[in-house]
Structure 1
Amino acid sequence: MKARHWPGGRWLSGLAAGLLAYIGLPYLLVQRLGLGTVRQGRASGEQVALTFDDGPDPQHTPAVLDALAAADMRATFFLLSGTAQRHPELVRRILAEGHEIGVHAARHRHAWARLPWDAYRDPVQARRELERLSGSRLRWGRPPHGAYTLANLLGLRRARLTPVHWSIEGGDWARGAMPQGVQDKVRRELHGGAVIVLHDSGPGARVTPTALPEILREMAERGFSSVTLSELNAAPVTRPELPARLMAGLDRRLDAQLGIRPALDRRGGLFRLQPLPFPLAGLRWPDGGVIARGTPALEFHVNNPLLVDLGLRQFIPRARREFGWVAQDWRERPELQEAEFIYCLSVHGPVLARLGFASVPLAPLDARRLKLWSDLMHHAYGTAPRKSQPVLSIMPRAEFLRRFG
Structure 2
Amino acid sequence: MEIILWIGFYFLTFYAFLPALVSRLFGFRVFMKGVSDTDIALTFDDGPDPEYTPKLLDLLKKHGAKATFFVVGENAERHPELISRIHAEGHILGIHNYLHHSNWLMRPSTVQKHIRTTSEAIKRITGTRAMYYRPPWGILNVFDFRNIGYLQIVLWSSLFNDWKKRVGAEKLYKRMRKKLKPGQVFLLHDCGTTLGADREAPANTIAALARILDDGRELGYRFVGIDDLIAVTERAKKNRKVSGDIRMQEETGKPRDGAEGDVRASIGWLKKAVVAGWMLYEKAFHVVFRLRPVGSGHFFNYRIRKYTGAKLDLRDGETLRPGDLIMEIHFENQMLFDLGMKAKTTLQIGIRIIREMQNALPDMAKELSTAPNGDRVKALFGISMIHRGAESLGFDTVELPKGLFAWTTKQYLKFLMRVIHPAGKDRVRGKDDTMHPRMLVMHREMLLSWADESSPRKRKREKERKAVAHGEPNANASTEEPLGTLV
Pair 1:64 & 2:61 matched: no
Q: Deviations over 1:366-405 (max 9, x none)?
A: xxxxxxxxxxxxxxxxxxxxxxxxxxxxxxxxxxxxxxxx
| Structure 2 residue aligned with 1:361 | none
Shift of 1:213: 0.6
Contact 1:41 1:194 in 2 (8 A): yes
Shift of 1:243: 9.8
Shift of 1:136: 0.8
SS in 2 for 1:176: helix
RMSD (Å) for aligned C-alpha atoms: 2.6
Pair 1:118 & 2:96 matched: no
- Per the alignment, do residues 66 and 244 of structure 1 end up closer, same or farther by CA in structure 2, a change over 3 Å counting? farther
| Structure 2 residue aligned with 1:210 | 207
Shift of 1:188: 0.4
Return the alpha-carbon distance in structure 2 between the equivalents of residues 208 and 14 of structure 1.
43
SS in 1 for 2:167: coil
| Structure 1 residue aligned with 2:18 | 25
| Structure 1 residue aligned with 2:184 | 194
Contact 2:30 2:154 in 1 (8 A): yes
Return the alpha-carbon distance in structure 1 between the equivalents of residues 162 and 273 of structure 2.
26
Corresponding residue to 1:177 among 167, 177, 188: 167
| Structure 1 residue aligned with 2:32 | 39
Contact 2:73 2:97 in 1 (8 A): yes
Letter in 2 for 1:50: L
Shift of 1:117: 3.2
Q: Deviations over 1:41-74 (max 9, x none)?
A: 11x4101111111111110001111111111111
| Structure 2 residue aligned with 1:378 | none
| Structure 2 residue aligned with 1:96 | 88
Letter in 2 for 1:127: S
| Structure 1 residue aligned with 2:155 | 165
| Structure 1 residue aligned with 2:332 | none
- Per the alignment, do residues 22 and 192 of structure 1 end up closer, same or farther by CA in structure 2, a change over 3 Å counting? same
Structure 2 gaps, min length 5: 193-197, 238-266, 275-487
Shift of 1:9: 1.6
Contact 2:47 2:189 in 1 (8 A): yes
Return the alpha-carbon distance in structure 2 between the equivalents of residues 180 and 59 of structure 1.
21
**Larger relative contact order (Cα-Cα within 8 Å, sequence gap ≥ 6):** 1
Return the alpha-carbon distance in structure 2 between the equivalents of residues 54 and 131 of structure 1.
18
Q: Deviations over 1:348-377 (max 9, x none)?
A: xxxxxxxxxxxxxxxxxxxxxxxxxxxxxx
Letter in 2 for 1:31: R
| Structure 2 residue aligned with 1:131 | 123
Return the alpha-carbon distance in structure 2 between the equivalents of residues 151 and 132 of structure 1.
27
Contact 1:122 1:155 in 2 (8 A): no
Return the alpha-carbon distance in structure 2 between the equivalents of residues 169 and 128 of structure 1.
29
Shift of 1:244: 11
Shift of 1:154: 4.0
Return the alpha-carbon distance in structure 1 between the equivalents of residues 107 and 220 of structure 2.
45
| Structure 1 residue aligned with 2:297 | none
Return the alpha-carbon distance in structure 1 between the equivalents of residues 271 and 223 of structure 2.
28
| Structure 2 residue aligned with 1:394 | none
Equivalent runs, 1:1-400 vs 2, <5 Å: 8-42=1-35, 44-157=36-149, 160-174=150-164, 176-202=166-192, 203=198, 204-232=201-229, 233=231, 234=233, 240=268
Contact 1:49 1:193 in 2 (8 A): yes
Shift of 1:137: 2.5
Contact 1:60 1:201 in 2 (8 A): yes
Return the alpha-carbon distance in structure 2 between the equivalents of residues 242 and 216 of structure 1.
36
Shift of 1:125: 2.2
Contact 1:64 1:209 in 2 (8 A): yes
SS in 2 for 1:150: coil
Shift of 1:141: 0.3
Contact 1:183 1:214 in 2 (8 A): yes
Contact 2:97 2:136 in 1 (8 A): yes
Return the alpha-carbon distance in structure 2 between the equivalents of residues 65 and 120 of structure 1.
29
Shift of 1:114: 2.7
Contact 2:29 2:145 in 1 (8 A): no
Letter in 1 for 2:161: G
Identity level (%): 32
Letter in 1 for 2:227: S
Contact 2:112 2:147 in 1 (8 A): yes
Return the alpha-carbon distance in structure 2 between the equivalents of residues 151 and 46 of structure 1.
35
TM-score after normalising by structure 2: 0.45
Return the alpha-carbon distance in structure 2 between the equivalents of residues 123 and 143 of structure 1.
9
Letter in 2 for 1:210: A
Return the alpha-carbon distance in structure 2 between the equivalents of residues 110 and 13 of structure 1.
23
